[in-house]
Structure 1
């Protein structure tokens, strides 16, 4: 009976260790997946993609190793180049104002009147 209890104890103990091992393996796999996702996001951000583009295009980066992910990134950049955001060269300067529309007929009359008053041209009497 003592042998049966020891065997039973060993199997129960082995079962606990097996479950513990499986739980640790699942946790390790989750951490690896998270590390790969973080690496993909970092590479896309460094390549010039904005946050929305990173979330959209990270699923296109396939592979688990650095080389595979880099190759997929090069292919993605060839297909979909990153959106460049340029800085405003004059941050304090607003948009230009549109010029007032001019009435060309009125402008011609005022120019004629001004030249006539200066004596540069003779007008009709």
Structure 2
């Protein structure tokens, strides 16, 4: 059986962590950084990655994904190339499946590498 992506997101730019993310956080959890996707926001905390997926025309329906660091078995990072690659890429292998987070060309992939290393090692 081939490994397939369960979900994939592209992070375009770093944004300020929204105050309303606090309703998702548990005791002792801190939001480190937030990133804008097409219509969504991804927040990296000290315990997990939270991705809010706005759905529908109005965006009033929101699906929230939580990827706890403790289910990540391994990861890989790939930086954007010079000519043809537009995005860097983080691939997460978890007990739940395979996730891809694409990193926009204007973002440095190394802070993601460091964050994952600190959370998982």
Same fold (TM over 0.5): no
Q: What TM-score results when the alignment is normalised by the length of structure 1?
A: 0.18
Greater Rg by CA: 1
User: Which structure carries more relative contact order (alpha carbon 8 Å, separation 6+)?
Assistant: 2
